[in-house]
Each structure stands twice: as C-alpha cells, then as structure tokens.
C-alpha cells in the first residue's frame, strides 16, 4: 500500500538534498541564501536584475510592503491555518491592532517603535485569547465566520472610536529610531527591508523549533484528527489557542512596523480583503509549508506591483487563485512535506 507516485515534488527534492548535507554545508548554504536575499534591495539598480523593477512604487519599497509584510503575515497565518488547520478569516485584526497600538502610543505618549513593539505584540496576543476562547470550541466553518466577524468588528471599532480618530485615521506616526547604525528614514527603505527580513528569520526559527517538538506534534495531531488527538492526551483547546495567539503576535508585530513606515494609518487599510490576500498567499504557496508560504507570498505580493493589469484586478486574481488552487492543486505550489519531521533526528 506504499505510495508509489513518482511525480516530481520540489519540496521533497529539496528536503532530501538538505538531509544529505552535513552541518557545515547546511550552515553555509543558509548563510549564503540569507545574504542573497539581503541584497535584494539593490537588485533593481543592478543591470542583470533590473527587470524586477516595479513601475509605481520603487522596488525597495515594494520589498518592504507588500512583499516583506505579506511574507511575515503569511507565516503568522500559516501557524493558525497550516499547522493547526483552523481557518482564520479575520487575520487582519491582529495587523490592525499592532498598527493602531503604534499609532496611538507614539502620537499620544511619544514612545518610539521599539518601545511600542512589545505592547503591540501583547495586545494582539490578548485579542487572540479573547477571540480564541469562545471561537475555538466551534467547528471549522463556524470558526471561520466568527473570525471574519472579529476582523470586521475591529475595523468598525477603529472607524468609530474617538481615540482611533475615525475614518481619517492617525497621521504623523514617527519612524523608528536608528539601531545598529541603520536609520529608518524614508530614504532608506532597504533598512526597513532588513528589519522585516530579520523578523521573518526570527519567526521561521521560532516555527521550526515548535514544529520538531511537542507543540508541533500537538498541532499536527489536531490538524489530522482533532478528536483522536484529544483522546491521546493532547489538550486541544490550549494548543489551538496557542496557535491563534502566536499567529496573532506575528500579525501584531507586522502591524507595528507597518505603521512606523507608512506614518499614517486609517481603517480602510484593514479591510476584510487583507485577510483574504494573506490567506491566498498561504494557500497558493502550500498550506502548512514554511518555504511554500514564503515563496507563494512573495510571488503574490510582488506580481501585482510589477504587472499593472494584475494590480487593478488584484482581488479578482486572488479569488481565482483560491478557486483554482483548491480545485487543481490543493497542496499549493510547494506541498507540505510528505514526511514532516516532528522530532529531532540527525545532526541539526
């Protein structure tokens, strides 16, 4: 009864390659890869790669938003949707909470981005708990609707409260103060990119550590058969809540950074569409698979910026992507690894 499909699976190919290397090779490869990615902001001005340049917004800025931000948020949503199998249609709420925390705290209390960041993350996590405790007891479809509602409620609240300054939003959000000699003024989008890249790497590291240990196993068990998981001793509610909270934390962090860069935010930046865009990134790349999500999000975020035609009909394309992916290639571009390692084995 062994699966004899010999279709080429890029993910497994890469994974097998990786497993064949020793520690030194792996470290070198990883560092080189990170180095290359870090050089991306310069790609638009370097001859051979200048075709990457985007017409409306500069390539360096595009790398920060939407590419970097979408990758970061897609990773966060992937923890919820991909690892635990919970459909969250209101992920934008966490993003909004982070952004508004930064906006409000920096303009009224005068705090800088680094000081606000832990608070943005904390508030998003609290929101995750508040949403999760009632919602996670419900079955999948109902959870989806409730999360959708939550996302909308956050937006409507932002639209109507005095402190969030309603539909006009909050202007005048300061850029983050410089660290490590990198200043975050608007002339240096590449610095923002490296910051986002750092966060992405941190999140990936975090996810990897969870995956090969008890949390990852618990999430995977829940995703595959929740009832049996709980009968095998997994406290499903707590683990589902954790995935919500961690996913929310990532979204909140992204929101804080986003507000610091764009310097003005308003409720219409946090519509339901954004949740769908991020979901599209996760689905397109391969639900549950980190590399799939990174690649998928990068492509889906980048292409509309490069190709005007797609940009105008961005949502249309996303809708079509969701339909097509589910019907034709439900595993995404880079399917979840067939034999995901859930425990540490070998040298790394």
Partner 1 sequence: MSEKVLELKQVTIKFGGVTALDSVDFHVNRGEICALIGPNGAGKTTVFNVITGVYPATSGEILFKEKSILGLKKHQVTKTGLARTFQNVRLFGEMTALDNVIVATDVHKRTGLVRALFGTPLNRREERSGSERAHELLKLVGIDHRSDQLAKNLPYGDQRRLEIARALGTEPEVLLLDEPAAGFNPAEKAELADLIKKIRDTGYTILLIEHDMSLIMGISDRVVVLDFGQKIADDLPTIVQNDPRVIEAYLGVPADAS
Partner 2 sequence: MNFEVITSQFWSLALQGLALGLIYSLVALGYTMVYGVLRLINFANSEVFMFGTFATLWVEVNLLGNPVATQPLHGFKLVGHLVLALVGSMIACALLAVLVELVAYRRLRARGASRLSSLISAIGVSIFLLEAMRIFTNSRPKTAPRLLEKWTFGEVAGANFRIDTMLVIVAPILIFILLDRFVNLSRFGKAIRAVSLSEENSKLMGININKVVTLTFMIGGLTTGAAAFLYTTVYENTVFNVGFTMGIAAFTAAIMGGIGNIRGAFFGGLALGMVEQFASAILGSQWKAVTVFVILVTVLLFRPNGLFGEAVQQTRT
- Interface with partner 2 by CB under 8 A: which residues? 81, 85, 87, 89, 134-135, 137-142, 144-146, 148-150, 152-153, 156-157, 159-160, 227-228, 231, 272, 276, 279, 283, 312-313, 315-316, 318-327, 330
Taking the complex as a whole, the smallest distance from the CB of residue 10 to partner 2 amounts, in Å, to 21
Site for partner 1 in 225-254 (CB under 8 A): 225, 227-236, 242, 246
25 binds, among partner 2, partner 1, none (CB under 5 to 8 A by kind): none
Q: SS3 letters for the chain?
A: CCCCCCCCCHHHHHHHHHHHCCHHHHHHHHHHHHHHHHCHHHHHHCHHHHHHCCCCCCHHHHHHHHHHHHHHHHHHHHHHHHHCCCCCCCCHHHHHHHHHHHHHHHHHHCCCHHHHHHHHHHHHHHHHHHHHHHHCCCCHHHHHHHHHHHHHHHHHHHHHCCCCCHHHCECCCCCCCCECCECCCCCCHHHHHHHHHHHHHHHHHHHHHHHCCHHHHHHHHHHHCHHHHHHCCCCHHHHHHHHHHHHHHHHHHHHHHHHHHHCCECHHHCCHHHHHHHHHHHHHHCCCCHHHHHHHHHHHHHHHHHCHHHHHCHHHHHHHHHHHHHHHCCCCCCCCCCCCCCCCCCCC
Site membership for partner 1, residue 347 (CB under 8 A): no
Site membership for partner 1, residue 137 (CB under 8 A): no
Q: Which residues contact 41 (CB under 8 A, 6 or more apart)?
A: 59, 60, 63, 189, 190, 193
170 beta partners: 265
319 binds, among partner 1, partner 2, none (CB under 5 to 8 A by kind): partner 2
202 binds, among partner 1, partner 2, none (CB under 5 to 8 A by kind): none
Site membership for partner 1, residue 9 (CB under 8 A): no
Taking the complex as a whole, the smallest distance from the CB of residue 209 to partner 1 amounts, in Å, to 5
Residue 148 or 269 with smaller CB distance to partner 2: 148
Site membership for partner 1, residue 23 (CB under 8 A): no
Taking the complex as a whole, the smallest distance from the CB of residue 348 to partner 1 amounts, in Å, to 12
Residue 162 or 339 with smaller CB distance to partner 1: 339
In Å, how far from its chain's centre is CA 345? 28
Residue 36 or 313 with smaller CB distance to partner 2: 313
Look at residues 145, 97, 136 and name the one whose alpha carbon lies nearest to residue 117.
Answer: 97
136 binds, among partner 1, partner 2, none (CB under 5 to 8 A by kind): none
209 binds, among partner 2, partner 1, none (CB under 5 to 8 A by kind): partner 1
For residues 314 to 343, the per-residue mask of contacts with partner 1, x marking binding by CB under 8 A and - elsewhere, is ------------------------xxx-xx
Q: Could you identify the residue written with the tokens 């690892």? A: 83
**Exposure on the CB side of residue 89, measured as CA atoms within 13 A:** 14
> For the chain, how many residues are written?
348
Q: Looking at 210, 258, 302, 318, which residue binds partner 1 (CB under 8 A)? A: 210
Taking the complex as a whole, the smallest distance from the CB of residue 149 to partner 1 amounts, in Å, to 27
Taking the complex as a whole, the smallest distance from the CB of residue 212 to partner 1 amounts, in Å, to 8
Taking the complex as a whole, the smallest distance from the CB of residue 309 to partner 2 amounts, in Å, to 12
Residue 149 or 174 with smaller CB distance to partner 2: 149
Q: Looking at 23, 213, 308, 329, which residue binds partner 1 (CB under 8 A)? A: 213
Instruction: Name the site residues for partner 1 (rule: CB under 8 A).
Output: 1-3, 206, 209-210, 213-215, 217-218, 220-221, 224-225, 227-236, 242, 246, 338-340, 342-344
């Amino acid at each position: 009864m062994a699966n004899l499909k010999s279709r080429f699976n890029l993910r497994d190919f890469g994974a097998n390659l990786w497993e064949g290397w020793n520690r030194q090779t792996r470290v070198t490869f990883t560092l080189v890869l990170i180095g290359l990615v870090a050089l991306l902001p310069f790609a638009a001005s370097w001859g051979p790669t200048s075709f990457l340049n985007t017409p409306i917004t500069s390539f360096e800025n595009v790398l920060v938003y939407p590419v970097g931000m979408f990758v970061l948020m897609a990773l966060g949503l992937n923890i919820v949707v991909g690892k635990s199998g919970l459909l969250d249609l209101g992920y934008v709420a966490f993003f909004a909470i982070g952004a508004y925390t930064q906006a409000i705290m920096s303009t009224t209390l005068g705090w800088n981005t680094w000081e606000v960041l832990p608070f943005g993350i904390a508030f998003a996590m609290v929101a995750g708990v508040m949403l999760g405790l009632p919602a996670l007891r419900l079955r999948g479809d109902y959870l989806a609707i409730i999360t959708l509602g939550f996302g909308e409620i956050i937006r409507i609240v932002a639209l109507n409260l005095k402190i969030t300054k309603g539909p006009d939003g909050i202007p005048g959000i300061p850029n983050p103060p410089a660290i490590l000699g990198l200043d975050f003024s608007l002339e240096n989008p590449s610095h923002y990119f490296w910051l986002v890249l750092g966060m992405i790497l941190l999140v990936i590291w975090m996810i990897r550590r969870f995956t090969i240990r008890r949390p990852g196993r618990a999430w995977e068990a829940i995703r595959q058969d929740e009832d049996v998981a709980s009968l095998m001793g997994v406290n499903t509610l707590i683990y589902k809540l954790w995935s919500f909270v961690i996913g929310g934390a990532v979204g909140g962090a992204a929101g804080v950074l986003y507000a610091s860069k764009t310097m003005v935010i308003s409720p219409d930046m946090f519509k339901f569409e954004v949740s769908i865009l991020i979901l599209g990134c996760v689905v397109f790349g391969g639900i549950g698979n980190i590399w799939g999500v990174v690649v998928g999000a990068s492509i889906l975020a980048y292409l509309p910026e490069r190709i005007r035609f797609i940009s105008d009909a961005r949502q249309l394309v996303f809708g079509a992507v969701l339909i097509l992916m589910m019907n034709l290639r439900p595993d995404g571009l880079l399917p979840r690894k067939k034999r995901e390692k859930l425990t540490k084995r070998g040298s790394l």
